[in-house]
Structure 1
Amino acid sequence: MTKPGTRRRWSDLNGVERVGLYTRQSLYLVLLGFNGLLLVPVALRLDDRGEAVALLSGGAVVTALGFAAAMAVLRRFPAVQPLPWRRIAALLIGCGIYYAIAATAWTGDARGAAVTSVVATLTLTLGLLPGPRLPLALLALSGLLFWISGGEPTDAAPGLFFAATFLVTARASMWLLGIVTDLDVARQAQAQLAVVEERLRFSRDVHDVLGRRLSTIAVQAELAATLAKRGDARAAERMLEVRGVAHEALREARELARGYRSTDFHKELEGARSLLRSAGIEVRLSVDAMPRAWHEAAGWVVLESVTNVLRHSDARLVDIAYADGELRVDNDGAHPGGSSDGSGLCGLRERLSPLGASLVAQPDGGDRWTVVARFPGSGPLSATDTTGFPA
C-alpha cells in the first residue's frame, strides 16, 4: 500500500497499490457524486433561496465530514486499530444536526433529500469499519431515520434500500481490496520461501560434495597414522592419497562457490519454473534448440536471471527462449530506473567470457527487462577445463 503523504505516479505503483488507489478513489467519487447529484437539483427547484442555501451548505458539511472519516479509515487499511474516533464523532454530530434541521424545519423534497444524504453518508462511511453487527445497526438506524422523517412505518423501506445499497458497495470494495492484499502478501511469502529452498538446496550440495570427501580424508588419515605407528611403508602412500582427496575437495568447493558445478539444464529449467510459479509468475519455455555443449552455461544464465526476477521485479510473466545462438530471459515487471550493472550479472559475464559467450541485460521498452546471452559456435571454448563437457 502507498504510504500516507507520498505522491507517486500511476506507472510507479505496483498492482496492489493500483487496486488500493482505485478502490479509495471510487468510494470517494461515489460519496461526492451521489450527494451532489441528489442535493443540487432539489436546491435548484426550491422557491425559498434561504432554504436552498441551507440544504446545500448542510449537505456539503456532511459530505466533507464523511469524506474525512472515510479517508482516515482507508488510510489505515488493512490495519483496524486505532479507529479515527474524532472524525467519526464529528461525522455523527454533523449528520445529527443536519437531520434535526431537515426533520423539523423542512418539508417535501428538501427533507427527503437531506435525510437520504445523511443515510448515504453514514452507511457508506461507517460501512467501511469492521464488525459483523455494524451493518445491522446501520440498517436499523437508516430505517428509523426515514420512518421518523416520514411519519409512517412504510417510510422505512426507502431507508433500508439506500442503506443496503451503500453497505454492499462499501463492504464489497473492502472485501476485494483485502483479498488482493492477502494474495500479494502470500506471493511475497512464497517468493521468500523459494529463495530459502534454493539456499537449502545449495547447502545440501555442499554437504553431498564435501561430506564424503572429508569422510574419506578422515578414514585415510587414520589408516595412515596406524600404518606409520607400525613402521609400514604404505603410510606415505596413504598420505599421498589424503592429499589428492583434499585437493579434489578444494576444487569441488571452489566450483560450488563459483557456480561451476555441472548441472542438468532441463532440471534447472524445471526448478526455475517451479520457483517462479510458486511466486505467482507464469513461465513460457522455448529452448529445445539449445546445443548440448552450452547447457551448463545456459543454466548459469537461467539461475541468475530467475534470482533477479524474484528479488528485483514485479513480473507476471517470464519468457525463456533460445534461437539463433541467443538465450533470452524476458520478464514484464522491471522497476523504473533499474540498472544492468548488478554484481550477479557482472560475475556472470566474467564466467561466460572465457567460454566465448557474452551477456547483455537491459530494459526493453516500458516495464520489460531482457537478459540476452549469446552462445557462438557449437560449444564453449574451454568446455573441457570449466564445464566438464567433452571437447
Structure 2
Amino acid sequence: MDVRAPVRRWRNAGKPQRSEVYLRWSLYFMALLQPLVVLLSLAGAVGIGLSGEVPALLLALCCAVTWLSVRAFSAAVDHYLGRPGDIDRRLTVLATAALGAVWAAALLCLRTGSTSDADATSLAAIVAGCLLVLWFGPVSVARPLRSVVVQGLLGLALLAPPLLLAGGDLATTLGILTGLSLILPALGASCRSFAWLLGVVWELDAAREAQSRLAVAEERLRFSRDLHDVMGRNLTTIALKSELAVQLARRGRPEAADQMTEVQRIAQESHREVRDLVRGYRTADLNAEVIGARAVLRAAGVECEIDLGEEAGDLSGPVQSVLGWVLREATTNVLRHSEAGCCRVRLRVDDGRAVLELENDGVPSPATAPAHRSNGTGLHGLRERLAAHGGELDLPAAAAGSFLLRASVPLAAGPTVLEHTPR
C-alpha cells in the first residue's frame, strides 16, 4: 500500500477540489468535536460519583450519532451543490437516532442514583446539546432557511421533555433551551456559509472554464469571418466566369479562353490571399505576446516577472514570431498544468542565438513531472516551429516543484522558413 497516495492526490488536485476537501472537513470537524465535549463532561461527572457503564453508554451514543452526522453532512453538501444523493433518508435516520439518544441519555442520567438532580440535569443538558448540534448542522446546509428555522424550533421543543425527565425544573429547562436557541443560529450560519463558499468556488471554476470556451469560439468565429470575407467574393466570381466560359465554349466563341484565363488569375489571387490570411493568423508578435501573457497570468493570480532586456527590439521578425509562439504555448501550459504562484520569463542573447526561458512554480508533484516533460501536442508543435528556424526546445532540470522551459533560435533565422513550418 502506497502511504504517499493521499499526499499525491492532494498535490495533483485543482484549487476547487482542494477547497472542497478543506470546507467539507471543516464541517466534519465541527461534528467530530461533539464526542470530545461529551467525554470531558463525563470525566467531570465521574469525579462527582457517576460510575458504572453509564459513561461508556453515553459516549457510545454520541459517537454513533456523530458518525451519522458526518454522513449527513456529506450528503447535505452534495445536495447543496446540486449533486445526486439520498439526503432525505440520511436526515431522517439522523433525526431519529439523535432524538432516541437524547431520551436514552436522559434516562441513563436519571437512573444512576449516584448524582444529584442538578448534576444529572447538567450532564443530560450537555449531551442533549451536543446531539442537537450534530443534527442541526446538516439540516442547516440541506434545507431552505424557513425550513431550518421551523425544524430548529421543533428540535428545541422536543428537548424539553427529556430534560424535565432528567430532573430539571421548568426554569432550568427554559434556561437551557434559551441558551441553545442562541447557539443554533450561529451554528447554522457557520455551516451554511461553508457550503455557500464551496458553491461559489465551483461556480467561479465553471465560469473560468466557460470563459475559455467562449474565447476559443470567438476566435473561431473571427477566423471564419475573415476567411469568408476573403474567399466569398472570389469564389462567386470564379463560379460566374466559369459558367460564362462554358456557355461561350458551347457556342464556339474564342472568348471562352479569355474567361478561363481570368478564372485562373482569380484562383491564383485567392490562393495568395488565403496564404496571407493563414500566415497572419499564425504569426505571433513577441511584444504583443508579452503583454497578453502578463495580463492573463495576473488575472489568474500568478505573479509574473518578465525581463526581455535590451535585445528584444533588435531581433528579426521571424525570430520574434517564433519566440512569441513559444511564450504563448508556455503560458497556456502554466495555466493548464500547474498551480503556479510565480512565473518568470527571461530573454537573452548568447553566442549568436536568442534564448527564451520560462520558469514557474506550482508543479503538482515529482510523480507528475514526466507528464510535463513528455512530447505533448503543444510542445511537439513548438519543437517543429523552432526546428524550422534552426532552433531547439529544451526542458532542463529545475528546482523541486518548478518547471523550466528553454527555447533557443539563431539570430539569423530567415523570414521565409515560417511558410514551411510543418503542422
> In the alignment, which of 232, 235, 254 is matched to residue 231 of structure 1?
254
For 2:224 and 2:395, locate their aligned partners in 1 and report how far apart those are by CA, in whole Å: 29
User: Aligned AA for 2:208?
Assistant: R
- Aligned positions of 1:129-278 closer than 5 A: 129-145=142-158, 147-148=160-161, 149=163, 150=168, 151-152=170-171, 153-211=174-232, 213-214=234-235, 217=238, 231=254, 235-236=257-258, 239-240=260-261, 242-247=263-268, 249-250=270-271, 253=274, 261-262=282-283, 264-270=285-291
C-alpha distance in structure 2 between counterparts of 1:99 and 1:48, whole Å: 18
Aligned equivalent of 2:327: 302
Q: 1:332, CA displacement in angstroms? A: 4.5
Corresponding residue for residue 408 of structure 2: 374
Alignment-derived partner of residue 3 in structure 1:
none
Residue number in structure 2 paired with 1:349 = 383
Partner residue, 1:52: 55
Contact 1:191 1:310 in 2 (8 A): no
Query: After alignment, is 115-124 or 346-355 more displaced?
Result: 346-355
Higher relative contact order (CA 8 A, sep 6+): 2
Look up the SS of the partner of 2:184 in the other structure. helix
Aligned-partner Cα distance in 1 for 2:308–2:233: 35
Paired AA for residue 167 in structure 1: G
Task: Please say if residues 297 and 304 of structure 2, whose CA atoms lie closer than 8 Å, have aligned partners that are also in contact.
Answer: yes
Cα distance in 2 for residues equivalent to 1:340 and 1:98? 58
Q: Which string of whole-angstrom CA distances, capped at 9 and with x for unpartnered residues, describes residues 117-142 of structure 1?
A: 11211122322213121331243135
Contact kept? 2:308, 2:346, Cα under 8 Å: yes
Residue 23, structure 1, aligned to residue 23, structure 2? yes
Relative to structure 1, is the Cα distance of residues 371 and 194 closer, same or farther in structure 2, using a 3 angstrom cutoff? Answer: farther
Q: Alpha carbon RMSD of aligned pairs, Å?
A: 3.8
Aligned 8 A contact 1:42 1:113 in 2:
no
State how 1:314-333 maps to structure 2 within 5 Å: 319-324=344-349, 325-332=354-361
**What are structure 2's unaligned runs of at least 5 residues?**
1-5, 110-119
Aligned to 1:36: 36
Distance 2:206 2:57 in 1: 48
Deviation at 1:373, TM superposition (A): 1.9
CA contact 1:39–1:59 (8 Å) conserved in 2: no
1:239–1:317 Cα change, 3 Å: farther
Kept in 1, the 8 Å contact 2:81–2:199? The answer is: yes
Select 2:136's aligned residue among 97, 120, 123.
123
Q: Point out the more displaced range, 244-253 or 150-159.
A: 244-253
Shift of 1:158: 1.2
Percent of pairs identical after alignment?
33
Question: How many Å separate the matches in 1 of 2:50 and 2:57?
Answer: 10
Give the TM-score, by structure 2 length: 0.74
Partner in structure 2 of residue 383 of structure 1: 415
Q: Which stretch of structure 1 is more off in the superposition, 325-334 or 93-102?
A: 325-334
Matched to 1:374, the amino acid is S
TM-score scaled to structure 1, two decimals? 0.79
Query: In terms of mean alpha carbon deviation, does 40-49 or 169-178 score higher?
Result: 40-49
How many angstroms does 1:15 deviate by? Answer: 0.9
Tell me the secondary structure at the aligned position of residue 394 of structure 2. strand
Distance 1:90 1:223, change over 3 A: closer
* Aligned partner letter, 1:25: W
| Among candidates 50, 72, 75, match of residue 75 of structure 2 | 72
Q: Residues of 1 paired with 2:12 and 2:154: CA distance? A: 42
User: For 1:237-278, what per-residue CA distance to the aligned partner results, in whole angstroms no more than 9, with x for missing partners?
Assistant: x65564355345446646766888445444455556666677
Going from structure 1 to structure 2, the CA distance change for 1:218 and 1:343 (only over 3 Å counts) comes to same
- Aligned-pair CA distance for 1:354: 2.9
The count of aligned residue pairs is 379
SS of the aligned residue for 2:82 comes to coil
**In 1, Cα distance between equivalents of 2:60 and 2:290:** 66
From the superposition, tell whether residues 339 and 77 of structure 1 become closer, same or farther in structure 2 (CA, over 3 Å): farther
The answer to whether the 8 A contact 2:65-2:98 is kept is: yes
How far residue 16 of structure 1 moved from its aligned partner, in angstroms, is 1.0
